[in-house]
Amino acid sequence: MINWKLLVFRKHDPANRTKRHRLSAAAALIGALLLVPQMLRAEEFPDALKRVDAALKHNPSKVTQVALDSCLSRRNFAAKLYESGQPDRAFETLKFCFDALEIPETVEATTKKAAPSLSDTQTKAAAEVEKALTLTPDVANGLKIYRDCSSCHKPEGWGLATGTVPQIAGQHHKVVIKQLADIRAGNRVNPLMLPHASAQAIGGPQAVADVAGYVDSLKMTIDNGKGSGRDLELGERVYRENCARCHGAQGEGDGEKFVPRIQSQHYKYMLRQFRAIKDGKRRNANPEMAAQIQELKDKDVEAVLDYASRLEPPKDLQAPPGWKNPDFAKSESK
């Protein structure tokens, strides 16, 4: 069966594509007719994404800029699908990049590395947290790092009401450090964020401390995404019975215990994370919470998260109406 994906970039090839490249493409097509490769499984998506990112960075096959740009767009969309709990669709989307970048879709078993165990990722993350907490943040460097983060988290750190990006402004310093360390160690799977937060991208524990220090300076919005508001009495009751002991009576969290602030967090983001925890898909979830929420019905979950999204932070953490991050206004005016 012909692998028609091999033809995907014919329309992007310049007219003067060399004879060597044409012969290479023909050889690949003949190989596809003779062999049926073993397809990479969706659960191997994170490893596949790393190989695509490496190829985007180094361009080993010397493909055109059009190919690189097209792959980057598909790569980012695939990462969003995976993060939203759609691994099969994510991998189907990512497969475009293997053809575009002219890299193999599979990895020989002899060259594949075993996935790190949960114990290994926890140990690695904990070591970075411990180190980062001893360092004095360089907020100026934190701003430099955050400029890349702002493309998703926005200059003010308010995220998106769609639920794809959380509000991180106002979050506890230690919570930001822990979540960054977990993502970098693989203790929390977030393929969309990892390329921007990795040690290769921003540096070691000092960089983690720096960007967390800058996030500390951001004020929160209370104009966040909320639910329908239909079952707030039920939501309050469920919250008092199940959530307040750890997250606090007003959703303030506990930085010393790495419990996140959920005040004014986007409803759809909390709903997505809650479902991931309940389904066992978030590796760094609190085991006690994961066990506790198993009996909650969908109606309870939606009500309690709607209620939590309406809990407001103290006035000193709130940004004034219409506030814009002046650090970004200055850079844009230059």
CA geometry: angle 116, 121, 123, nearest 5 deg: 130
Q: How is residue 7 annotated by DSSP?
A: G
Query: Which pLDDT score is estimated for 113?
Result: 55
Q: How is 54-107 classified by DSSP, letter by letter?
A: HHHHH-TT---HHHHHHHHHHHHHHHHHHHTT-HHHHHHHHHHHHHHTT--SS-
Query: Which pLDDT score is estimated for 216?
Result: 94
Query: Which pLDDT score is estimated for 331?
Result: 53
Query: Which pLDDT score is estimated for 258?
Result: 97
Q: What is the pLDDT of residues 183-218, one digit of tens each?
A: 999 999 888 898 899 999 999 999 999 999 999 999
Q: How far, in Å, CA of 166 to CA of 3, rounded? A: 40
Residues 91, 98: contact at Cβ < 8 Å? no
Query: Which pLDDT score is estimated for 332?
Result: 54
Helix intervals (H) in the chain: 19-34, 45-58, 65-83, 87-100, 118-132, 139-153, 173-185, 194-197, 199-202, 205-215, 232-242, 244-247, 267-278, 287-292, 298-309, 326-333
Query: Which pLDDT score is estimated for 294?
Result: 95
Query: Which pLDDT score is estimated for 37?
Result: 38
Query: Which pLDDT score is estimated for 96?
Result: 84
10-residue averages of pLDDT along the chain (334 residues): 40 48 48 41 79 90 82 90 85 84 67 73 97 98 97 96 96 98 94 89 97 97 97 98 97 98 98 95 94 95 98 98 91 51
Residues 75, 94: contact at Cβ < 8 Å? yes
The sign of the dihedral angle between the CA atoms of 215, 221, 225, 231 is: positive
Query: Which pLDDT score is estimated for 265?
Result: 98
Q: Which domains does the chain have, with CATH numbers?
A: 1-11+38-108 (no CATH), 118-333 (1.10.760.10)
